[in-house]
Amino acid sequence: MSTPKIIGQLVIVAYKARYLPEREVIGKQDPFVIFRIGEAIERTKTDIRGGQHPVWDDQVTLPIPEKKDKVVVQVYDEDGKRQELISECELDISKVLVEGEEDSMSM
């Protein structure tokens, strides 16, 4: 299996989330975000006690493999040794690949 050709870099700023589902029974959840394009994975810092309205203001950079136009976005609660999925979506970045920039996208 050959390594896919990299056609560029995608810079993502995870600024904040609002109204995340609550996964903690006691206390506030500690959310962080994982971004994935193909085999490349990056994550944000954890907003300790960020709860349902975390603010990360964190930047990640992912290589864009040829023929990949989707970013998988997953928000997890970091809780000691286990990480519980809070929410996830897939973002279509085909417009970004053509036009070169997108101001914001909602999950």
13-40 mean pLDDT: 94
What percentage of the chain has pLDDT greater than the value 70?
A: 93
Whole-number pLDDT of residue 105: 67
Q: Is 75 exposed, middle or buried (0-12, 13-18, 19+ CB in 10 A)?
A: buried
Whole-number pLDDT of residue 99: 84
Q: What DSSP string describes 55-79?
A: EEEEEEEEEEETT--EEEEEEEEEE
Q: Is the pLDDT of residue 101 over 80?
A: no
CATH of 6-98, one of 2.40.50.140, 2.60.40.150, 3.40.50.1100, 2.40.30.30: 2.60.40.150
The model's pTM: 0.89
The amino acid at residue 31 is P
Distance CA 54, CA 50 (A): 4
Q: How confident is the model at residue 1 (pLDDT cuts 50, 70, 90)?
A: low
